[in-house]
Structure 1
Amino acid sequence: MSVFLALALASARDLLGVHGAWGAFRDADRCYAIARPEISGGRARWRPFASVGTFPKRGQRNALHVRLSRARDRSGRVTLSVGERRFALAATGTDAWAPDAATERAIVGAMRSGRSMSVEAVAVGGRPFADTYRLDGAATAIDAAALACLGRR
């Protein structure tokens, strides 16, 4: 088990399972699959991650959230890549997400069949960077999280 997952265990209410590079968790407001990047684009003061969550009270399912490893130049784009597929993400300085529900569904679908994904941006100061994630276990962790929140409101 990675150090990341051990740390997540300490703060998560319920561990639903560890599936490859991904963990699935449930707390009072959400259920989510989460992973740390295998290759990180920089040394951040925070922990970068990618997650896919279900928020029953909001009626939101398979919501993508990425915490970038570096603060990005806000004038640049953030692109998520899975295999040959590329997706433009909406972003703040350190967080990124799918711009709409259709893109979110397409990203999660690509994650289910992909081997790895990368999130690329340009950091403050102009240097490009990429955070790369293994996708082994992602589909199972996403499903475990979604099932754990089924029927919760």
Structure 2
Amino acid sequence: MFVRSIATTLALLLASASLASAQSPTRIQQFNAWGAYSYKTQNNTLCYVLAVPSEKQPASVDHGDVFFIVSQRPGQNISYEPQVMMGYNLQADSKVTVAVDGKNFTLFTKEKSAWVENAAEEPALVAAMRGGRNLTVQATSARGTRTNYTYSLSGITAALNQIRTCN
């Protein structure tokens, strides 16, 4: 149920439709740590895979809801776009580091989200995720707290394959 309510929240945040025309996302299938979802607006379909961290550091702070998402938006020519969503505002003009089995990627921040700084590196990050075991995220909150998250990559390939033909 927790993942279902998260998916609803994310769909509302990710979709470009107004609330009046918003619908609930459809959970396609769960693949170990990763869920595959579909969300339809009047004009577009958005598909995405989502995971929550298996570990959050420091344990003494309230992280809110934190997710790693890879979205597919065929109507907007967006294919496998990685994004981190935090439960708090990120430090302005800071960078987020994502590492998959020792390979680092830099993400730029805006409010509570971060995206790959160089869009040309998105396929490399997704490929690393498909072949990796764990993904880590290092970020700094607007208050200056350094945070770290660990995600299992178990199920990511099957989840991404499920949304390959998003429609």
Aligned partner (choices 19, 22, 34) of residue 31 of structure 2? 19
2:62 counterpart letter in structure 1:
R
Q: Which moved more, 1:135-144 or 1:93-102?
A: 93-102
CA–CA distance in structure 1, aligned partners of residues 139 and 26 of structure 2: 33
Please state whether the residue corresponding to 2:114 is helix, strand or coil.
strand
CA–CA distance in structure 2, aligned partners of residues 16 and 143 of structure 1: 12
TM-score for both structures, normalised by structure 1: 0.84
Q: Per-residue deviation at 1:40?
A: 2.6
Instruction: Please name the residue that 1:128 is paired with.
Output: 146
1:39 equivalent in alignment to 2:37 = no
Instruction: Please name the residue that 2:13 is paired with.
Output: none
Instruction: For CA contacts below 8 A with separation 6 or more, give which structure has more relative contact order.
Output: 1
Aligned partner (choices 121, 130, 133) of residue 112 of structure 1? 130
CA–CA distance in structure 2, aligned partners of residues 125 and 100 of structure 1: 26
CA–CA distance in structure 2, aligned partners of residues 73 and 54 of structure 1: 27
| Unpaired stretches in structure 2, ≥5 consecutive residues | 10-23
Q: Per-residue deviation at 1:64?
A: 0.9
Q: Name the CA shift for 1:44/1:129 in 2 (closer, same or farther; >3 Å).
A: closer
Aligned partner (choices 92, 102, 115) of residue 74 of structure 1? 92
TM-score for both structures, normalised by structure 2: 0.78
Aligned partner (choices 82, 103, 109) of residue 121 of structure 2? 103
| Residues 54 and 63 in structure 1, CA contact (< 8 A), matched pair in contact too | yes
2:160 counterpart letter in structure 1:
I
**Deviation by residue 1:103-148 (Cα, 9 ceiling, x = unmatched):** 111110110011111110122332211121111001111110122x
Residue identity over aligned pairs, in percent, reads 27
Q: Per-residue deviation at 1:14?
A: 2.4
1:40 counterpart letter in structure 2:
K
CA–CA distance in structure 2, aligned partners of residues 116 and 65 of structure 1: 16
| Unpaired stretches in structure 1, ≥5 consecutive residues | none
CA–CA distance in structure 1, aligned partners of residues 113 and 147 of structure 2: 14
Q: Which moved more, 1:116-125 or 1:23-32?
A: 116-125
